[in-house]
Amino acid sequence: MHKKPYDSKEKWFWIFCLIGSFAILSSTMSKNPVLNPFAKSLETPDPFMGFVASASTIPGILISLPAGTLSDILGRRKMLVVSSIIFASAPFLYLLINAWWQLILVRFYHGFATAIFVPVANASIAEVFPKRRAEKISTFSTATIVGRTAAPFLGGYILSVTNYNFKSLYLAVGIAGVTTFILTFSLFKERKTAENVSTKKGKELNSAQSVISGWSKVVRNRGVLVISFIESVQYYGYGAIEYFLVGYLNEIVKLDAFLIGIISGGLLVVSFAKPFMGRLSDRIGRKIPIFWGCIIAGIPLLGIPLTKDFVFLLLFAVLYGIGFALVTSSTPAFASELSPPKLVGTTMGFLGTIMDVGQTLGPIISGLILANFGYVGLFYSLTTLYLASSIIFASLITKRE
């Protein structure tokens, strides 16, 4: 009898992982590797190409923090339903697009799905598994990476065999989004597990203090601020690389769409090891993986603009992915540990907000750098930022944190 709560939690967790996989498959396949050529087919002006890439991350800045707080008050499941509705509906709007500005609007709407889903999911998992939070959050992240990694392979294949038929690809995106919606309701069967326990804690919190007071506590937490900065740097770089690497491989290296998809997938394929990285982080602490991850992510970017060899480009992408995975397997767990126990949802929302600031600015600023200094300047600027972030992290995170 005593095993039932544990078994129920585990079942709930694996359903959650399945939802995450299809959700992120849908959102990622809508942009990688299709977004760049789709935007160009709509004759998007060059100055607005970065805005096309960043439009979906702007909602993260606007809604991640309120979504995390609302999940503390209303419960995680209700916010998951909202995100699943967007995951299911947004892909079909791409089929109606016939002007570049419409693409920006649809990307903006689509971005609300992930902006709500990620912080709510991380907060829920952190509370349900307090002693294994890095391992479980990393395992969930790996499940989403299954979708994120499969997306460029599948998307590249669809574009290749259909001769860049964008509607066929977005129909596939829609199928994944609808699957996310259906799976979310299967999660309700597990609603009497620990997910409900975390909801009750959130309600107690918000009856005792105001939302603004909770936000203030999170914003004044130095440790959370530093971790959020590191997270934003990681996604600043990833947002720029995910978008402009496709352009480099297409325009300069002139690879086939399927090979471009393989290299794009290589950015995250090593993230399947994130559960082990999270387990390591639970055992040795968060600081070592974050510090060295920043360094490992930055160095391979130096080599990308210096070669057109497929094998080397894939190797550099994989090495970058190792560093990215090391950092992001520890940052959500670290932030949740540094926050007040009853503000976990709010903290995850704040982390998501700052992360999306970075991911939004990455393509925009990198696009300006590319226009003035070319691909060498773009990738070298990212290396500089990653190495600088490792130094800042080591300087500002004290032994107490």
Under the banding of pLDDT at 50, 70 and 90, the label for residue 2 is: very low
DSSP 99: S
386 pLDDT more than 80: yes
DSSP string, 318-383: HHHHHHHHHHHTTHHHHHHHHS-GGGHHHHHHHHHHHHHHHHHHHHHHHHHHHHHHHHHHHHHHHH
Under the banding of pLDDT at 50, 70 and 90, the label for residue 1 is: very low
- Give which of 274, 281, 322, 269 is closest to 300, Cα–Cα: 322
- Give which of 392, 393, 396, 386 is closest to 295, Cα–Cα: 386
175 pLDDT more than 80: yes
Helices 194-208 and 211-219, packing angle to 10 deg: 100
What pLDDT, on a 0 to 100 scale, did the predictor assign at position 173?
A: 96
Q: How far apart are CA 325 and CA 289, in angstroms?
A: 9
Under the banding of pLDDT at 50, 70 and 90, the label for residue 65 is: confident
Q: What share of the chain is helix, strand, coil (3-state, %, to 5)?
A: 85, 0, 15
201 pLDDT more than 60: no
- Give which of 35, 86, 38 is closest to 60, Cα–Cα: 86
Which residue has better confidence, 195 or 160?
160
Q: How far apart are CA 92 and CA 169, in angstroms?
A: 11
Instruction: From residue 99, give the alpha-carbon distance in Å to each of 42, 126, 167, 367.
Output: 6, 42, 14, 21
For residue 146, the one-letter residue type is V
Under the banding of pLDDT at 50, 70 and 90, the label for residue 23 is: very high
CB-count burial class (<10 Å; 0-12, 13-18, 19+) for 113: buried
**Residue 33: cis peptide before it, omega within 30 degrees of 0:** yes
Taking residue 272's Cβ as centre, other Cβ atoms within 10 Å add up to: 15
Q: How far apart are CA 171 and CA 12, in angstroms?
A: 29
Q: How far is CA 230 from the centre of its chain?
A: 14
203 pLDDT more than 80: no
pLDDT tens for residues 320-349?
989 998 998 889 888 888 887 777 888 888
The alpha carbons of the chain give a radius of gyration, in whole angstroms, of 20
Q: Average pLDDT of 177-204?
A: 65
Under the banding of pLDDT at 50, 70 and 90, the label for residue 46 is: confident
Q: Chain-wide mean pLDDT for the chain? A: 85
What pLDDT, on a 0 to 100 scale, did the predictor assign at position 3?
A: 46
Would you list the domain boundaries of the chain? 4-396
CB-count burial class (<10 Å; 0-12, 13-18, 19+) for 93: middle
Query: In b/e form, how buried is each residue of 348-364, taking b as 16+ CB within 10 angstroms?
Result: bbbbbbbbbbbbbbbbb
Q: Average pLDDT of 256-271?
A: 78
Find the angle CA(48)-CA(385)-CA(370) to the nearest 5 degrees: 30
Tokens 């003035």 sit on residue: 372
Does residue 361 contact residue 368 with C-beta atoms inside 8 Å? no
Q: How far apart are CA 380 and CA 73, in angstroms?
A: 44
Of all residues in the chain, the percent with pLDDT exceeding 90 is 36
200 pLDDT more than 70: no
Q: Which CATH architecture has domain 4-396?
A: Up-down Bundle (1.20)
What pLDDT, on a 0 to 100 scale, did the predictor assign at position 261?
A: 78
205 pLDDT more than 60: no
Identify the three-state secondary structure at position 126: helix
pLDDT tens for residues 270-320?
777 778 888 888 888 889 999 999 999 999 999 998 888 899 999 999 999
What pLDDT, on a 0 to 100 scale, did the predictor assign at position 199?
A: 47
Q: Average pLDDT of 25-50?
A: 88
pLDDT tens for residues 218-239?
888 888 899 999 999 999 998 8
Q: Average pLDDT of 200-229?
A: 71
Helices (H) and strands (E) in the chain, counts: 17, 0
Cα dihedral 96, 102, 108, 111, rounded to 10, equals 30
Of all residues in the chain, the percent with pLDDT exceeding 70 is 91
Under the banding of pLDDT at 50, 70 and 90, the label for residue 398 is: low
Under the banding of pLDDT at 50, 70 and 90, the label for residue 393 is: very high
pLDDT tens for residues 106-115?
999 999 999 8
Tokens 């290396």 sit on residue: 383
Under the banding of pLDDT at 50, 70 and 90, the label for residue 103 is: very high
